Amino acid sequence: MISEITVQELKERLASSSKMQLLDVREPEEFEICNLGGELIPLGDLPKQAGRIRQDVPVVVICHHGFRSAQAINYLTQRLGYENLLNLKGGIHAWATEIDPNMAVY
C-alpha cells in the first residue's frame, strides 16, 4: 500500500516549513510548464539518480496525475528499501486545480 498526501496536506506542510523533499518524476518539458520546485528526476532516470533522494525526511513524489509517482514509489521501496515516500494524490494537476488556479495545466 502506497502512502499518499493530498494537495491540501502538502500545502499545509509547505506553509509550516516542515522538513521534506519534493521529488518530481515527470519529464523536463513537463517540469518547465509547471512545478512545485524540488528535485527533478524523470522516472526513467531513477535507477541511476536514486542517490539524490533523501531517506532522513519525508519525500513527496510528484507527477502529472499520480501514476508515474506511484511507479517510482514502488520501485524505490521494493528495490532500494525506501520507507519515507508519499505519493501526491492527483499529482501536479490536482495542485493546479485545487490550490493554485494560476498554475499552468496541460
> What does each C-alpha distance from 89 to 26, 64, 65, 67 come to in angstroms?
15, 10, 7, 9
User: Which one is catalytic: 5, 10, 63, 85?
Assistant: 63
C-alpha 90/C-alpha 33 separation (Å) is 17
Concerning whether 63 is annotated as a catalytic residue, the answer is yes
Give the three cell numbers for residue 61. Answer: 513524489
- Residues noted as catalytic: 63
